[in-house]
Copies of this chain bind each other. A is one copy, B any other.
Amino acid sequence: MTDYRKLWSDLGMDLEKHDRLTSALPLIYEEVYLQQPERPQAMEYFDLVVAEIHSLRIVELVEHRRRGGKVCGAFCVFVPVEIIRAAGAVAVGLCGGSQFWVPDGERVLPRNLCPLIKASVGARLSGTCPYFQSCDLLIGETTCDGKKKAWEVLGEYAPVYVMDLPQMKRPQDLAAWRGEIELFLARIEELTGCRVTPGRLAEEIRLQNRLRQALERLYHTRKADPVPISGKDALLVTQVSFYDDPRRFIDKTEALVAEVEARIASGQGVFPPGAPRILVTGTPMAIPNWKLHHIIETAGAAVVCEETCTGTRFFEHQVDETGRTLEEQLQALAERYLKINCSCFTPNSGRLEDIFRLVEAYQVDGVIYYNLQFCHGYAVEYYTVEKALKEQGIPVMKVETDYSEEDTGQLRTRVEAFLEMLR
């Protein structure tokens, strides 16, 4: 293993603190991932990505910047990555998923704020995340109060650009969102000094569509019984998609899909046939937040789908590829991204339709509603989701939690009781 300390040091990182962060990960990963039985061979690549999460990809980012390229970090599936890439910049996801960063976030943010926001800001403040350190521009958005206001604080430490996402989905909101995407394009062109052409944008639209389709195909395999891949592994693949080089990611994911499809053909699974099938719905899970999936799957149930931003919300719906002018392409981007059913919209009835559709398609036995603590949007929306599911006789349970391990025992007991009820 190469010594990356010089690399990290050049990025202005706090090496000693970073050692503490990275020393814990291999142990957790061993327990959560490597001890799973019957894992697909092709997961080896994703294991490598995690093992080298602060090195291999960072070398690429550093190399890209050395050649004059820019790197943009984003926190949300609403940010149109196609535009960043069409301007020659690299896009990386920055959502913090580790409790390690929370105390640093709490230095500047209130304690009773969502752990994802605190961890993301804390990752920057602590100087222990090489992705943050590699970014020339951070792209925030106005999806929730916590993030919207946290970007103001983060802006004191790094350059931040904020996209104003609409709160409704009427024709005027689509027009406003289209306008935001135009402003975003201009900002990215200014950052990179590179003009986005329809040709380059078409290429990146096709690439991101392929990436989304690869994930869609992977998710499709999870409809089988026995399920050929664990929920933890599928979640990891989605998580990695936010960081990785998209072409390599597509290749590796397609290889995984091929292997997993072969498993289905031979009836091979990672859980026994008939194991309880769980849909997780709610807030996103950023690396290394595998807490809920680990609890569910070590209790004998399979997570077969995630209706979250690190799940279906990320890859469903493709951008129309027929646009030939920038105007048509930006409109197509605006339309595709505004189809995402985030709780930031009011009303957000599309999400309910998604949940019912996924429950059916993935033959789900029970729904676990995952709510990161203090995320008001999803917490309030639980009322509507719970009511609708119960009316249809679909078991549902709400889990509100943070990144700490304090409630793990209690969660395990609750999840086990819920699964017991499904049998």
Contact B148 A346 (CB under 8 A): yes
User: Smallest Cβ distance from A351 to chain B, in angstroms?
Assistant: 11
Contacts known (A176-B176, A383-B153); A148 close to B162, Cβ less than 8 A? no
Contact residues in B for A109 (Cβ distance below 8 Å): 380, 383
Binds B, one of A82-90, A93-101, A370-378: A370-378
User: Smallest Cβ distance from A423 to chain B, in angstroms?
Assistant: 29
Contact A379 B110 (CB under 8 A): yes
Tell me the bound Cα distance from A383 to B156 in angstroms. Answer: 11
Contact A108 B383 (CB under 8 A): yes
Binds B, one of A164-172, A219-227, A238-246: A164-172
Contact residues in B for A128 (Cβ distance below 8 Å): none
Contact residues in B for A148 (Cβ distance below 8 Å): 167, 346, 377
Contact residues in B for A152 (Cβ distance below 8 Å): 346-348, 380-381, 384
Number of copies: 2
Contact B346 A377 (CB under 8 A): no
Binds B, one of A139-147, A292-300, A301-309, A324-332: A139-147
**A343 touches B (CB below 8 Å):** yes
Contact B167 A164 (CB under 8 A): yes
Contact residues in B for A33 (Cβ distance below 8 Å): none
Using CB atoms, name the residue of chain B closest to A378.
B149
Contact digits for A58-88, partner B, Cβ 8 Å, 1 yes 0 no: 0000000000000000000000000000000
User: Smallest Cβ distance from A110 to chain B, in angstroms?
Assistant: 4
Contact residues in B for A162 (Cβ distance below 8 Å): 346
Contact B380 A153 (CB under 8 A): yes
User: Smallest Cβ distance from A386 to chain B, in angstroms?
Assistant: 10
Contact A146 B113 (CB under 8 A): no
Tally of contact residues, A, Cβ under 8 A: 40
Contacts known (A112-B374, A373-B112, A376-B374); A167 close to B142, Cβ less than 8 A? yes
Tell me the bound Cα distance from A149 to B347 in angstroms. Answer: 8
Contact digits for A338-364, partner B, Cβ 8 Å, 1 yes 0 no: 000001101110000000000000000
**A382 touches B (CB below 8 Å):** yes
**A179 touches B (CB below 8 Å):** yes
Contact digits for A379-423, partner B, Cβ 8 Å, 1 yes 0 no: 111111000000000000000100000000000000000000000
Contact A376 B113 (CB under 8 A): yes
A110, A172, A400 interface centre (most CB from chain B within 10 Å): A110
Contact residues in B for A110 (Cβ distance below 8 Å): 376, 379-380, 382, 400
Contact residues in B for A381 (Cβ distance below 8 Å): 149, 152
Can you offer 15 A-B residue contacts whose CB atoms are under 8 A? Answer: A109-B380, A109-B383, A110-B376, A110-B379, A112-B112, A142-B168, A142-B346, A145-B145, A145-B344, A145-B380, A148-B346, A148-B377, A152-B347, A153-B384, A376-B376
Residues of A within 8 A of B (CB): 108-110, 112-113, 142, 144-146, 148-153, 162, 164, 166-168, 172-173, 176, 179, 343-344, 346-348, 373-374, 376-377, 379-384, 400
* Additional A-B contact list (4), CB under 8 Å, known A110-B380, A112-B374: A112-B379, A152-B347, A153-B384, A164-B168
